Amino acid sequence: MSDSLILTIIIVAVVAVVAIGAIAFVTKGRKPKTPYTSEHDADDLPTGQSAEGDTDAAADTAGASDAPVAVEEPPAPAAQLDVPEPVQGRLARLRARLTKSNNMFSKGLLALLSQDSIDEDVWEEIEENLLMADLGTEPALELVDALRERVKIEGSKDPVRVKAMLREELLKLVDPSLDRSYLPAPHPDRPSIIMVVGVNGVGKTTTIGKLARVLVAEDKDVLLGAADTFRAAAAEQLATWGDRVGVPTVRSEIDGADPASVAFEAVSAGIEQEVDIVMIDTAGRLQNKVGLMDELGKIKRVVEKKATIDEVLLVLDATTGQNGLQQAKVFSEVVNVTGIVLTKLDGTAKGGIVVAIQRQLGVPVKLVGLGEGPDDLAPFNPEDFVDALLEG
């Protein structure tokens, strides 16, 4: 074999080896195309690339990976908040309801006082009417004595004049001079604190929700504390009321949590968030349950390590009559009740409980509830109340 042939064979072999090596290097450097998976957010996409565009690329490599394509969820629709009714509108509507519920009471009294001759039997019947309205023995006797004296002096049988005298005497008993403000004075460094107490079944948690609506209607920032850990679903009920008007609720996710701790956290959150008012719900303490009443006192003591409680509102069912008065006495001994909220006042003619409670406890009725609707709670106004009793 000649030298030139051998040289040609060597050159061809070297070229072949180099070509094979180059092909192997290029093949080794390639990577399969992978889809965009849900491990990334849509915001991680490169500029100019959309989630929809990447879907096509993923479809091309469906055989290489089953990973899902990322899809951005549309934003949830904004919650629709209730718009509370203004206070003045509540007062007019509630007065109409109270007038209707006390129609028979007013007509009975006026009929007796307008008779041609008012003897002792008539006065006793008038007194019975007042007692049946839960006015209380002492206030009823005072009212009868005052009316007897005025009718005797004036000698008037005119129904209009008799009604005016009755109104004046009733108004004295209701006592317009009492402080009925349910809005505590503001503080520069903390929210005002309202604690709400009452027995089971009087509508306490519902009343707090309705009062939150009243306060929101008056442009107050409110926070609710669900310290009723004794009754199932109480915290959820309160939170639902808060959600309806955009009011936050501090609650515990632990069943049977310490009520005092929840109340303390609510006040702390209120201070941190700089709200105007914190309202604390409490369990429906039965007045004959000494342990539960002691717990109520503990809540007050623990909360006041953080901030003084400005108002303690006791919720009473007006249909319970004198039994409600006994409840009020026990609660006032434990937590120094500063105001009364009377619910279900339209379901009975026993409006006299207003006078009885105030007379024996020196505690004013500040709010009244006259229905099941969310706006059926309004500030108590003595003049409107007496007028409603006597209208019809």
Q: Which two three-digit tokens encode residue 1?
A: 């074999």
Quick check: 76 pLDDT over 70?
no
Assign a CATH topology to domain 88-174: Four Helix Bundle (Hemerythrin (Met), subunit A) (1.20.120)
Alpha-carbon span 160 to 166, nearest angstrom: 10
Is 205 annotated among the ligand-binding residues? yes
Confidence of residue 155 (pLDDT cuts 50, 70, 90): confident
Of residues 94 and 251, more confidently modeled = 251
The tens digit of pLDDT for each residue in 172-183 reads 999 999 999 988
User: Amino acid letter at 108?
Assistant: G
Is 200 annotated among the ligand-binding residues? yes
* 192-382 is classed CATH 3.40.50.300: yes
Is 242 annotated among the ligand-binding residues? no
Residue range 110-114: mean pLDDT, rounded:
78
Is 371 annotated among the ligand-binding residues? no
Which positions ≥6 away from 273 have C-beta within 8 Å?
221, 223, 248
The tens digit of pLDDT for each residue in 183-210 reads 888 999 999 999 999 887 788 999 999 9
Q: Name the residue ranges covered by the structural domains of the chain.
A: 88-174, 192-382
Is 281 annotated among the ligand-binding residues? yes
Confidence of residue 95 (pLDDT cuts 50, 70, 90): low
User: Which of 127-136, 175-184, 239-248, 300-309 is the least confident region?
Assistant: 127-136
Do 332 and 361 form a contact (C-beta atoms < 8 A)? yes
Whole-number Cα distances in Å, 196 to 171, 191, 274? 27, 16, 21
Is 366 annotated among the ligand-binding residues? no
Core vs surface per residue 4-14: b (16+ CB within 10 A) or e: eeeeeeeeeee
Alpha-carbon span 379 to 215, nearest angstrom: 11
Is 343 annotated among the ligand-binding residues? yes
Quick check: 116 pLDDT over 90?
no
The tens digit of pLDDT for each residue in 127-150 reads 888 888 778 889 999 999 998 898
Is 226 annotated among the ligand-binding residues? no
Is 282 annotated among the ligand-binding residues? yes
Is 344 annotated among the ligand-binding residues? yes
Q: 3-state DSSP call for residue 249? A: strand
Do 277 and 211 form a contact (C-beta atoms < 8 A)? no
Which positions ≥6 away from 140 have C-beta within 8 Å?
127, 130, 131, 352
pLDDT of residue 126: 87
Do 358 and 170 form a contact (C-beta atoms < 8 A)? no
Quick check: 115 pLDDT over 80?
no
Is 202 annotated among the ligand-binding residues? yes
Name the strands in the sheet holding 311-317, side by side, starting at the edge strand that comes first in the sequence.
Answer: 249-250, 222-226, 277-281, 192-197, 311-317, 339-343, 365-369, 377-379
